[in-house]
Chains A and B, each alone.
Chain A
């Protein structure tokens, strides 16, 4: 392979490092500034909004309340239709369901006037008691969604009158019977908190009417085609009236798989006909973003005295928050991804309730529920190892998926067949990298410092099987360069480059010979968008298919121009030639001829889906230093070994891994959305909601133990999400190995560690 599996620069790299104006707010011209009045109450009914004074502020173009906007309900979750997330939201609603819910939309020609107008709005609320604890939400007398026009498109077990957003029971074998036979049972409950993706570019959207009377939306989104549908639903207008454009975007990590900001300027532009823009403040992005769902998972893990796992039960509670975005789907990954890695048990049960509350609605965050599931199950596995006095890596080698299981069916993973896996090699290599045998479980460093190691393994998927679609089109242009049209959404991850690498490999040309662009729903082929670890695997395969077709067309056209049969010519990327006839024609000439008269313009398109979602795997081993007096944990070293199949661009795969691990470290040690007793997020700035700095990140070392996935482009699987799943259980394990204390709630802050150590020492 010449270009695939090479760490080439991203095609947009030099524009980004020189600060070129390529993001939404850089492109938006002078237009209306849109801001929101947000509710200070977690649960309330708006009785009256007086907009008179606000409307009189000079420069104000419009003030919109729930009476002025379409009343249709929709979901802001970016998912394939029919969405699993209920239609439970309106652009503006009389019923306030969480602090920060929008009450009014104000648009004006300068920010100061808009701020002034917002200050002049008078709202009378009937303040209701909120339900903030998801453990108490089911069958509570407080109902988050009493509205009649609530709609669940898919039966996911929704019962809104009981605050149930989704509910399901999955069982394979008989868990209760198997547990009875087990000599070792771990029965513990694990709690993870909501946390934020905090893409550096906050949510933002610019909207305008075009020459044809259509609403154009330029937005920082991972899901342009879903945004088109979401806005058509929200505004109650035909999709044909909408065009969505994605420029460069400043990070996503799942946050922009929900349509968070688009509807506000869109409704302003649709009503006023004038261009408008909203830029969420960091505070708004934190108080009303689309964070990871809070979870509580009770694990019952049964094994024999040798550590052979016989049964796994995951009894799961999920906090949807005020709206059901991604609630019914994220929860599924907690069980179906986590349990699958221990494929040899006799029985599995996974039951869940996803519950509405009056906290911020959740969304998609890298890992998409699997992260919560792996913290719970991998922690329980580590507790089982401790119970058996067994090295936790040994326990895993006895039970987890390995190369030898390739070809086996995965009963907890929709009965898919495992076609590629090197998880055993990943774990063994990570042990070598960290020096596990010398360092496990811990070493006293003196000075009240102890250094310990901890381990976890995990998997994810590659796209959503039978659902995700990636379509591409590739064109041959004059002088023989290609245009690759994609609907997949590069959010900094580099998919524009990765897909171009695949095209260049197929067409045997230089990377510079492939032109690629952002997404425009009018001109890009359909793509579900960049989420579910789908882009390289799903859209990458579409590129392979389209290039094959184009190559055949080039052969045919070359042969015709040479006056030969297609069977008698070959293509080497530069020319179509016949050795036998000693004739050739360059790609440049074919391209130029194709634009003249009688000849054929050469394009090819392909659409791809996958009946399977092959899992990438990863082993993560961390070494921490724990201060026994203060409880402070420093990350010393993180050894990560990944099986993502063939890494199409190893540099970008490595950076994905490093970035995901550091997000996982933040989630494990300090990131925590904290609410006061009235449901207001207390730590609503970067001053209080801390994400890891380069001091917190420690040293991270990444290697690949590549398998070859037969269904992926050049053997590739996904990389984007699997990388966030090991830090929480691995760090919790290292903390246990340093303190012999189990921490089953995230984040594991220094305070929690110090207090628990004090508590134990006093007994």
Chain B
């Protein structure tokens, strides 16, 4: 079936199978940051934004993105670097395989929650699994990043 969508503001018109998953469509267009860590919507690695709301692209049909805007970390490089620097300063990107999906959700959280508590941060990001870090380094990076956001160091995205 015919669909039209934008990935990182670039328009794509495509004839796709009705059962194609958004994750596979995105990767087929060369946006390879998006990863699959499970097939059961449990790990959060495939997180992308669909019209500015995070979705799990492994369990979203590509047709659901028809006439919509998909954003991956390739489309948010500046923001990814702003937060990613804090992650790197903790050594908490480790293998990096879960980083893109995790960072997408951190950026969404930054826009959605104002001054979140530690518990709210954990709850918001509960669906983003990481096997390397034990999550503590990620939490340190998030706290440092959010305090910089609060100081107005970054433009809103």
A354 to B: closest C-beta gap in Å: 27
CB distance from A16 to the nearest CB of B (A): 3
Q: Give A251 to B35 CA distance when docked, in angstroms.
A: 13
Between A13, A22, A660, A694, the greatest number of chain B beta carbons within 10 A of the residue's beta carbon is seen for A694
Output the least CB separation between B111 and chain A (Å).
18
A229-251: contact bitstring with B at CB < 8 Å (1 yes, 0 no)?
Answer: 00000000000000000001111
Q: Is A422 an interface residue (CB 8 A)?
A: no
Is B94 a contact of A655 with CB atoms below 8 Å?
Answer: yes
Chain B nearest CB, measured from A654 CB (Å): 7
B131 and A9 contacting across the interface, CB-CB below 8 Å? no
Which of B34, B96, B103 contacts A250 (CB under 8 A)? B96
19 inter-chain pairs at a CB distance below 8 angstroms, sorted by A residue, are: A7-B89, A13-B84, A14-B84, A17-B81, A18-B73, A18-B74, A19-B99, A22-B96, A199-B97, A200-B43, A248-B95, A249-B95, A250-B35, A250-B95, A251-B95, A491-B95, A658-B133, A663-B134, A687-B40
Q: Is the CB of A197 within 8 A of B89?
A: no
Q: Does B16 interact with chain A (Cβ within 8 Å)? A: no
User: Is B123 positioned at the interface, with any CB of A under 8 Å from its CB?
Assistant: yes
A-B pairs, 4 with minimum CB distance: A492-B95, A19-B33, A16-B96, A17-B84
Seed contacts A197-B131, A658-B133, A686-B40; 10 additional CB < 8 Å A-B pairs: A9-B91, A16-B99, A19-B72, A200-B131, A282-B39, A663-B134, A685-B42, A686-B42, A687-B40, A691-B131
Q: How many A-B residue pairs have CB under 8 A?
A: 177
Identify which of residues 75-99 in chain B touch chain A, using a CB-to-CB cut-off of 8 Å: 77, 80-81, 83-85, 87-99
| CB under 8 Å from chain B, chain A span 1-34 | 7, 9-10, 12-23, 26
What does the 1/0 interface line of B94-114 toward A look like (CB < 8 Å)?
111111100100000000000
A661 at the interface (CB under 8 A from B): yes
Bound complex: CA of A595 vs CA of B52, how far in Å? Answer: 54
B68 to chain A, nearest CB (A): 20
Interchain CB contact under 8 A, B137 and A253: no
Cβ–Cβ contact A694 & B97, under 8 A: no
**Residue B53, interface by CB 8 Å:** no
Q: Is the CB of A660 within 8 A of B134?
A: yes
- B108-152 vs A, Cβ < 8 Å mask (1 yes, 0 no): 000000000000001101111111111111110000000000000
Q: Is the CB of B88 within 8 A of A10?
A: yes
Residue of A nearest to B98 (CB): A200
- Against A, the Cβ 8 Å flags (1 = close, 0 = not) of B27-46 are 00000111101111011010
A137 CA / B74 CA spacing, docked (Å): 53
Question: Measured between alpha carbons, how far is A26 from B98 in the docked complex, in Å?
Answer: 14
| Chain B residues packing against A (C-beta within 8 Å) | 32-35, 37-40, 42-43, 45, 72-74, 77, 80-81, 83-85, 87-100, 103, 122-123, 125-139
Binary contact track A692-725/B, C-beta < 8 Å → 1, others 0: 0111010110000000000000000000000000
Q: Please report the C-alpha to C-alpha distance between residue A694 and residue B118 in the assembled complex, in whole angstroms.
A: 11
| Closest Cβ neighbor of A249 among chain B residues | B95
Closest Cβ of chain B to A288, distance in Å, is 15
Shortest beta-carbon distance from B154 to chain A in Å = 15
Do A694 and B125 contact each other (CB < 8 Å), given the known contacts A200-B95, A491-B95, A658-B133?
yes
Whether B131 contacts A694 by the Cβ 8 Å rule is no
In the complex, how many residues of chain A place their beta carbon closer than 8 angstroms to a beta carbon of chain B?
56
**In the complex, which of the residues A17, A651, A663, A687 contacts B80, with contact meaning CB atoms closer than 8 Å?**
A17
By a CB distance below 8 angstroms, the chain A residues around B98 are: 200, 250
Residues on B with beta carbons closer than 8 Å to the beta carbon of A494: 91, 94
Give the secondary structure class of B's interface: loop
Cβ contacts under 8 Å, A251 to chain B: 94-95, 97, 131-132
A417 at the interface (CB under 8 A from B): no
Q: Is A198 an interface residue (CB 8 A)?
A: yes
Q: What CA separation (Å) do A10 and B91 show in the bound complex?
A: 7
CA distance A112 to B50 in the complex (A): 26
Verify if A493 is at the interface (C-beta below 8 Å from B). Answer: yes
Is A281 part of the binding interface, using a Cβ–Cβ cutoff of 8 Å?
A: yes
Q: Is the CB of A659 within 8 A of B133?
A: yes
**Mask: chain A, 248-269; 1 = CB below 8 Å from B; 0 = not:** 1111010000000000000000
Q: Judge if A201 is at the interface, Cβ distance under 8 Å.
A: yes
Docked-complex contact B91 and A7, CB < 8 angstroms: yes
- Does A649 interact with chain B (Cβ within 8 Å)? yes
**CB < 8 Å: which of A20, A282, A697 contacts B136?**
A697
Q: Find chain A residues with CB under 8 A from B133 CB.
A: 655, 658-659, 662
How many Å lie between the Cα of A691 and that of B131 in the bound state?
8
B2 → A minimal CB distance (Å) = 19
Q: Which residues of A contact B95 (CB under 8 A)?
A: 16, 199-201, 248-251, 491-492
Flag A180-216 by CB within 8 Å of B: 1 or 0 each: 0000000000000000011111100000000000000
The chain B residue with its CB closest to the CB of A199 is B131
Partner of A662, one of B45, B83, B90, B135: B135
Query: Complex formed: what's the CA distance from A161 to B55 in Å?
Result: 54
Question: Which residues from B are CB-within-8-Å of A249?
Answer: 95
> Which among A10, A19, A202 is the interface contact of B74 at CB below 8 angstroms?
A19
- Across the interface, which residues of B come within 8 angstroms of A19, CB to CB? 32-34, 72-74, 80, 99-100, 103
- B37:A282 contact, CB within 8 angstroms: yes
| A201-B42 contact given A7-B91, A9-B88, A654-B91, CB 8 Å threshold | no
Closest to A251 in B: B95
Out of B85, B126, B132, which one reaches A659, CB within 8 Å?
A: B132
Contacts A200-B130, A248-B96; is A651 near B122 (CB within 8 Å)? Answer: no
- The answer to whether A686 and B129 touch (CB under 8 A), given A18-B81, A21-B33, A697-B135, is yes
Residue on A nearest B136 in the bound complex, by CB: A658
How far, in angstroms, from A655 to B139 measured CA to CA in the complex? 12
Q: Is A667 positioned at the interface, with any CB of B under 8 Å from its CB?
A: no
Interface residues of A in 362-404 (CB under 8 A from B): none
Known A26-B32, A655-B91, A686-B40; contact A695-B84, beta-carbon cutoff 8 A: no
